[in-house]
Amino acid sequence: MSSQAKKFGFGMPWESLYGYSQAIQVGETVYVSGQLSHDRLGNFIGTGDFELQFQTALENLDLVLDQFGAERGQVVETTVLVRNLRENFESAARLHAEYFGKHRPASTIMGISDLALPDQLVEIAALVRLDVES
62 or 12, greater pLDDT? 62
What whole-number distance in Å separates Cα of residue 104 and Cα of residue 112?
A: 23
Q: How confident is the model at residue 4 (pLDDT cuts 50, 70, 90)?
A: confident
Q: How confident is the model at residue 13 (pLDDT cuts 50, 70, 90)?
A: confident
Q: For residue 1, is pLDDT > 90? A: no
CB count within 10 Å of CB 14 equals 14
pLDDT at residue number 14: 87
80 or 1, greater pLDDT? 80
Domains and CATH numbers, the chain: 5-129 (3.30.1330.40)
Task: State pLDDT tens for residues 53-86.
Answer: 999 999 999 999 999 999 999 999 999 999 999 9
What order of strands is seen across the sheet that includes strand 106-112? 5-8, 23-26, 29-35, 122-129, 75-83, 106-112
